[in-house]
Amino acid sequence: MDEHMKRRLDKQRKLFSQLGITLDALTIHEKEFSMKLRGYDAEEVDTFLDSVIKDYERFYATIADLMDKWQEQQLELRELKETKAAAVPVIRGIDPKELEDVVIRMELNLRQLKEKLPRAEEYL
């Protein structure tokens, strides 16, 4: 068995183990049955198991692809949360000097309003 295939099967075995799946393609392929007088046709069993192995390979590819996509989504979500948390509300188009002038005018208006109110303790 070449190194690439061995690594691929190891990854598959680890993933299936995490998911609680006990059989992987290699285990199915290497399974040997004892011969009995009136047993199953060995060639027919091998053909069936080969199709099971192909399905397992498809399952593995699908699961691995979905897990990769899920991890990418988790990273994107984490980045969005960090960006949102770090974002400080920015008011665009307002000059700080202009804002200061508005505050000064409001304070002046407040003083003038207080002067116009009757001098009763309940208002002050």
What average pLDDT does range 101-118 have in this prediction? 85
User: What is this structure's pTM?
Assistant: 0.51
Residues with Cβ < 8 Å from 33, sequence gap 6 or more? 39, 40, 42, 45
| Per-residue model confidence as pLDDT tens digits over 29-63 | 888 888 777 788 888 888 999 999 888 888 888 98
- Listed residue (76, 57, 55, 54) closest to 65, CA to CA: 57
What average pLDDT does range 67-82 have in this prediction? 91
Residue 43: its pLDDT value, please? 87
Phi, psi (deg, nearest 5) at residue 123:
-90, -25
Q: Can you give 43-83 as a three-state secondary structure string?
A: HHHHHHHHHHHHHHHHHHHHHHHHHHHHHHHHHHHHHHHHH
Residue 122: its pLDDT value, please? 58
CA 115 to chain CA centroid, Å, is 61
